[in-house]
Chain A
Amino acid sequence: MTMAQALFYLMAFIALASALFVAASKSLVRSVFMFFVTLMALAGLYVLALADFIAITQIVIYIGGILVLILFAFMLSGRETLANLQQQDNRFISIGKLPALLLAVVFFMVMINILFKTDVNHLLWLSKAIAHKNVFSPSDATVSNIGINLMTRYLLPFEAMSILLMMALIGAAHLSRKEKKA
Chain B
Amino acid sequence: MVGKTQNKRHWSVGVHQLFKKIGIKQIAYVPDGGLAQLIKRCQDDRSIRSVVLTTEEEGVAQMAGAWLGGERGVLLTQSGGVGNCINMLSMIQECRIPLLSLVSMRGEWGETFPWQVPMGQSTIPALEAANVIVHHVGEAEKVLETVNAAAKLAFDANRAVSVIISQRISDSEAKG
A and B are partners in one complex rather than unrelated chains: no
Which residue numbers of B lie inside 8 Å of A, CB to CB? Answer: none
Which residue numbers of A lie inside 8 Å of B, CB to CB? Answer: none
